[in-house]
Amino acid sequence: MSEASTAATPATQDHASPKPQSPPRPLAGLRVLDFGHTVMGPCAGLLLADLGADVIKIEPPEGCPTRKLPGFASGFFATYARNKRSLALDLKKPDARAVLHKLAAGADVVLENYGPGTIERLGCGWEDLRAVNPRLIYLAMKGYLAGPYEQRGALDEVVQMQSGLAYMTGPPGQPLRAGAPVIDMMGGVFGVVAVLAALRERDQTGQGQRVAASLYESAAFLMAPFAVGSAMIGEPMPPMPARKNAWGIYDVFTAADGGMVFLGVTSDAHWRRFCAAFGCNDLVEDARLQGNAARSEARDWMLPIVRERVQALSVAEISERAEAANIPWARVGHPADLAHDPQLLAHGGLIDTAVSPLGGGEGMQVAVPGLPLEFGDQRIRTRLQRQPPAIGEHSVDVLREAGFSAADIAALQAKGIVLA
């Protein structure tokens, strides 16, 4: 599909009407206070929410800034806010801290990805909240873990540059960030791993603890095989576009009709089937192409021959032959294509999520990939329970559940502490 709008349909679901869920979800019964913004924090909260936790997004009365991000980041809020409730609370006002502390006393997890020292200045850091709830698991997601850099702010792109990921992605001399916030998301995933481990430990000790995840160390984790590889080959690892390929055919081919298809031939069995499917039987018996290592060394002269034969075909023909030959392949797609992908459609892998265009206009629903998980033979555990909430949509409910009376809530509203 050429236009992202093909993934969207008019929005009809009421924010206040969650869809029913059939099987129980594994984290049902956990309550999470989510101070996340942009990607890393909200992604961690989303994982917990999709797995059944009651995730309460704490945002200022004017709304989380992520709601208004333009361009590349315009889809961040809607993507990571589903299955959460919104409490709009002005933490800059001293009386709001008492509200938050009361909420924390009944919570299992607090997560935040503010810059160093910010949450502490608001009186909601680990030391503040553990005093009101010793069983609390407190997830801090930062740019860096403890060490010389821990007071630095960081961004996904900063640590992609710093860790070597951008170097490995772009051509020589042209470091290039990945085309998605992969480190923000990976930091969120590692944060959830830490939370689940801490919850398991709490089951044994009865005590909560602070756990942390970070951008830089997550990016460094991704670079580990290339650091090891550099030591093994005795020289710096070249970036991906200039790498010495480990396989003879592991490339993108431009089809006769202009589309692009990736083909991967990574074993002798693949090679034989590939040659039969793409008219390369004359290469099968070539003594210079026996074994994967030999084919990798022969890429300079072999690949032009293969390209000429493959690229004479249309995208459909290449796809059909690769599928029939049972070799790894993929059309080079666009994110908007995911809304129509048969694999995602087959097992509830897409969730119709309500969004509002930044420029105004009628709301719509966009098909968004759900969690890439199965429990038994079902993916329905990650189905939509709540659409991304309006600012403060659940403030009254959350405060009432925490023990605030109607008069208490009215007073907080009158002072501008709570928006409802």
Half-sphere exposure (CA, 13 Å, Cβ side) for 134?
Answer: 3
Three-state DSSP class for residue 362:
coil
Compute the distance between CA of residue 297 and CA of residue 125 in angstroms, rounded to an integer: 56
List all residues 6 or more positions away from 112 whose beta carbon is below 8 Å from its beta carbon.
35, 36, 41, 119, 124, 139, 140, 141
> Residue 263's beta-bridge partner residues?
251, 329
Q: How far is CA 264 from the centre of its chain?
A: 26
φ/ψ (deg, to 5) at 175: -55, 140
Compute the distance between CA of residue 344 and CA of residue 123 in angstroms, rounded to an integer: 43
Cβ atoms of 45 and 34 within 8 Å: the answer is yes
- H or E, element range at 54: strand 54-59
Half-sphere exposure (CA, 13 Å, Cβ side) for 381?
Answer: 20
List all residues 6 or more positions away from 250 whose beta carbon is below 8 Å from its beta carbon.
263, 264, 265, 266
User: In this structure, is the dihedral angle defined by the CA atoms of residues 6, 7, 13 and 14, taken in order, positive or negative?
Assistant: negative
Cβ atoms of 257 and 315 within 8 Å: the answer is yes
**Of residues 34, 156, 184, 352, which has the active-site annotation?**
184
CB neighbours of residue 161 within 10 Å = 16
| Catalytic site includes residue 128 | no
Three-state DSSP class for residue 130:
helix
> Residue 351's beta-bridge partner residues?
368
Three-state DSSP class for residue 263:
strand
Closest of 253, 241, 271, 250 to residue 308, by C-alpha: 253
Cβ atoms of 99 and 417 within 8 Å: the answer is yes
The catalytic residue positions are 184
